[in-house]
Amino acid sequence: MGRGSLRIFLGSAPGVGKTFAMLDEAHRRRERGTDVVVGIVETHGRAHTAALLEGLEVLPRMTLEYRGSQLTELDAAAVIARRPHVVLIDELAHTNVPGSGHEKRWQDVEEILDAGIDVLSTVNIQHLESLNDVVESITGIRQQETLPDEVVRRAEQVELVDMTPEALRRRLAHGNVYNADKVDAALANYFRVGNLAALREIALLWLADRVDEALERYRADQGINAPWPTRERVVVALTGGPESETLLRRGARIASRAAGGDLIACHVRSSEGLVSGDPSTIGRLRRLAADVGGEFHEAVGHDIAAAILDHARGENATQIVVGVSRRGRWQQFLRPSIASAVADGSGDIDVHLVPHEGSKIRPRTRRTQALPWQRVAAGFVLATTATIALTAILVATQDGHTLSLDLLLYLALTVACALVGGIWPALFCAVGGSLTVNWFFTAPTGTLTISDPPNAIALAVFILVAVAVSWVVTLAARRTEQALTAQRESAALAALSRDLLAEPHPLPSLLTRARDALNLKQAVLTEPGPDGSQVVVAASEESLRAGSPLPDDVAWTTDVPVDEGVHLLLDGPPLAARDQRLVNAYAAHAAILHGREQLIRAAREAAGLARDNAARTTLLAAVSHDLRTPLASIKAGVSTLRQAEVKLTPEDKAELLESIEESADRLDALIGNLLDLSRLETGTVKAHTHSVEIFDAVLDTVRTTSDPARVAIDIGTDLPPVQADLGLLDRVLANVVENALRHSESEIRITAGTLVDKVQLRIVDRGPGVHDADKDRIFQAFQRVGDTPRGDGLGLGLAVARGLMTVMGGSLSPEDTPGGGLTMVIELPSADQQRHEEGA
């Protein structure tokens, strides 16, 4: 027995009538005599759905206990044992209760299908695995029950049960979907009109794609190559020329006139081409195709017209849009245009020939000579002198050769002239050689008359062969020159891409390379400034700095748009046509590098914001504990003193007051550090320096510390004064000394000395010290190093101290104390040296 068939009723949302349609189909099959049973159908309390179960055999469900509850599931074994012809199994994406035969209901269905039983089932579009995230972005609800798309795709039939959003909302409001207590919430959330319309469109498009896949399989199986116009598909043939955007927009308008029309932009390049299209132009066309709702494809073919037709037939296209040829009538007569070839070979596909600005026939211009004029001149000289010399030799030896040898020698000379100077010297040599052979070596000699007809034919063939060979040689030389140019460009661009990756500032390097490669005076990349005028982003000359205005005294010869508002300006001689591609390549690189620099700046700004957010988060976390601790101590002490029923001895009162004072001092220090750090980060701290006696400043600060008895001052009175802000210096000394007292249980020594024009102050402790790896980290805000208990400061003291020292023009650095511990070195400029410099 073969495998059973699966028919799925697909819905866009709950309540559209999937189960109702499945039961209706079951009754139709039962009336035709088919053995139909119900494996499992969920009515969800809907009376109309439950009524359709009457008259159908319902198989018993499997009962399972889960977390103290009795739950029922599909009994696949009972279905297989019953062996009906058709079984109804609702909610294909359902997850089974643990303990069932399979994890998912669709796995039960697979087992039943393998047993040769046909299955009718239902599923909503939001349960498909590939669409789960899309549906979540629309509805805000992530579906927990999903099934692989392949399960639905393998179904022999998928029938869409469709309903407009308005009709479904009316059904919901009438209580035909959910109970009355859930209706208002459902209408206001999942069942909004926009949600339902989007889900409906997703379901329709998904099913339409499956229909297209089935149709393509059928056409491939039947060997049908002719397009079937089931849906309007418009293929726009693009060359990369200036008319491409016009053709693409025209194709978009044609596709939009047909409901569900597809637009495919196809850029075809010849497989014989030495160079491909301009990358910036191709990128612009790709973006435009996406903007107008189309796809962008690229193809390569020997015959452009055949490649376009093959691609259109492969896409099952119904219409082709192609531009009218730029060629003149004689050129089209000798060689049909791509548009004509596409129209002739299109068959049943409609072809739109769209005129454009480039299709207007322009006056013919002279082709630029592929070879330098020096080589052309040399070719004419060779043709003249060599013809004379060869003729003289052949006349002198006239009896030793025949006419055929003469013609071969002059033909060889013609080929040599073509190799040296191209087509025109070769033609000159061919005509001159034919006249010379006719005059000197063809009877009757001395006249241009030919008496023997075979000789006349031989001369005519000689001229034709000479012209043909000259043309082929010239064409080969031109192609060789193009190939070498393309090779040089490719090598230059490859080296450019490789070298720019290692450049720390690639834009100026790119512009310098462009200037040198194109023999320019300068190259500048500009963008709009705040006032709308163009400002310099980067330049090949160091005199033009980023952000400076564009100089007015330069007549820019070339202006290449790079991006929106961004231009590449070149100053130098006018560029040759062959250099335009190289300029466009440099412009494309500039666009990429400019975009990368913008992304780097944005990333740095984002990193700065992230650091600020992290600092704020750390600050809030620290404040929540470290500021609360002294506040709690103060509140507890004051509350105790205010309670009249509590009898305190004078010693207890003194201890409480001392505790309150210490907590208030700690709170004042914490708030002071926070304010100092905030002022430092905003750049509002200004140092008003003057001459300060270092001994007096240290003594005054030590007296205000938490344990002045443990601080020994060893500073001589002969030290010169320092140039500092006394208030800021007091904050620095207080933070450094308190930090030393906190981390050391022994005596703290403060020494001072001079070093050239500086005064060094050393705060020496014998504490645990700091590892070399942590010596920079201790100056970061909110950092505690070692085993300092939480609540003893915010970790701001040293960060504030170093910041204040920087403002005063000094420095604060850590050193290891010999024998163990840490020495903080404060260095300030000498006031005597400052006065000496001012006097000088």
For every residue of 409-473, DSSP letters joined together read HHHHHHHHHHHHH-HHHHHHHHHHHHHHHHHHHSSSTTSS---SHHHHHHHHHHHHHHHHHHHHH
Q: Which of 470-474, 669-673, 698-702 has the highest mean pLDDT?
A: 698-702
User: Is the pLDDT confidence value at 682 over 50?
Assistant: yes
Q: Which two tokens mark 370? A: 């592929």
- The Cβ of residue 222 has, within 10 Å, a number of other Cβ atoms equal to 8
Q: Are 63 and 53 spatial neighbours (Cβ–Cβ below 8 Å)?
A: no
User: Is the pLDDT confidence value at 284 over 90?
Assistant: no
Vertex 232 angle, CA 227 and 233, to 5°: 70
412 torsion bin: left (phi>0), alpha (psi -120 to 50), beta (else): alpha
Q: 140, 30, 47: which is closest to 85 by C-alpha?
A: 30
User: Is the pLDDT confidence value at 149 over 80?
Assistant: yes
Q: Which two tokens mark 747? A: 């005596």
Q: Are 313 and 227 spatial neighbours (Cβ–Cβ below 8 Å)?
A: yes
Phi/psi of residue 573, nearest 5 degrees: -65, 155
Whole-number pLDDT of residue 75: 92
The percent of residues in the chain predicted with pLDDT above 70, rounded, is: 81
User: What average pLDDT score do residues 435-460 get?
Assistant: 75
User: Is the pLDDT confidence value at 670 over 80?
Assistant: no
User: What average pLDDT score do residues 746-765 get?
Assistant: 88
Q: Which two tokens mark 608? A: 């700065």
Whole-number pLDDT of residue 446: 76
* pLDDT band, residue 363 (cuts 50/70/90): very low
* Cα–Cα distance for residue pair 34/85, rounded to 1 Å: 7
CA 750 to chain centre: 58
* Cα–Cα distance for residue pair 739/765, rounded to 1 Å: 10
* pLDDT band, residue 353 (cuts 50/70/90): confident
Q: Are 571 and 553 spatial neighbours (Cβ–Cβ below 8 Å)?
A: no
User: Is the pLDDT confidence value at 222 over 60?
Assistant: yes
Whole-number pLDDT of residue 397: 85
Whole-number pLDDT of residue 406: 81
Whole-number pLDDT of residue 678: 65
Q: Which parts of 683-725 fold into alpha helices (H)? A: 694-703
Q: Which two tokens mark 142? A: 């992530």
Whole-number pLDDT of residue 827: 92
Q: Which one-letter DSSP state was computed for residue 766?
A: -
Give the C-alpha distances (Å, rounded to integers) separating 166 from 107, 146, 327, 836. Answer: 35, 27, 57, 89
User: What average pLDDT score do residues 411-440 get?
Assistant: 83
Vertex 51 angle, CA 46 and 55, to 5°: 145
* Cα–Cα distance for residue pair 502/505, rounded to 1 Å: 9
Whole-number pLDDT of residue 131: 84
Q: Which two tokens mark 611? A: 């650091």
Q: Which two tokens mark 273? A: 């081409």
Q: 780, 774, 671: which is closest to 731 by C-alpha?
A: 671
**Please, how many CA atoms are within 13 Å of residue 479, restricted to the half-sphere of its CB?**
9
* Cα–Cα distance for residue pair 178/172, rounded to 1 Å: 7
User: What average pLDDT score do residues 662-689 get?
Assistant: 70
Among 128-137, 330-339, 408-417, 746-755, which stretch is predicted with the lowest mean pLDDT? 330-339
Q: Convert the pLDDT of each residue in 691-705 to its tens digit.
A: 999 988 999 888 888
* Cα–Cα distance for residue pair 536/766, rounded to 1 Å: 57
User: Is the pLDDT confidence value at 233 over 60?
Assistant: yes
User: Is the pLDDT confidence value at 60 over 80?
Assistant: yes
- C-alpha R_g of the chain: 45
Bridge partners of residue 524, in order along the sequence? 539, 569
- Neighbour-count burial of 120, counting CB atoms closer than 10 A to its CB (0-12 exposed, 13-18 middle, 19+ buried): buried
Whole-number pLDDT of residue 368: 44
User: Is the pLDDT confidence value at 658 over 60?
Assistant: yes
* Cα–Cα distance for residue pair 451/456, rounded to 1 Å: 8
pTM, two decimals, is: 0.38
* Cα–Cα distance for residue pair 241/648, rounded to 1 Å: 98
Q: Are 408 and 465 spatial neighbours (Cβ–Cβ below 8 Å)?
A: no
* Cα–Cα distance for residue pair 190/199, rounded to 1 Å: 11
Q: Convert the pLDDT of each residue in 80-126 to its tens digit.
A: 999 999 999 999 999 998 888 899 999 999 999 999 999 999 999 98
Whole-number pLDDT of residue 786: 52
Residues 6 or more apart whose Cβ sits within 8 Å of residue 304: 268, 269, 270, 338
- The Cβ of residue 733 has, within 10 Å, a number of other Cβ atoms equal to 24
Whole-number pLDDT of residue 517: 76
* Cα–Cα distance for residue pair 94/123, rounded to 1 Å: 9
User: What average pLDDT score do residues 230-255 get?
Assistant: 83
Q: Which two tokens mark 400? A: 């030793």
* Cα–Cα distance for residue pair 534/567, rounded to 1 Å: 9
User: Is the pLDDT confidence value at 195 over 80?
Assistant: yes
Give the C-alpha distances (Å, rounded to integers) separating 352 from 232, 263, 324. Answer: 14, 14, 9
* Cα–Cα distance for residue pair 636/713, rounded to 1 Å: 37
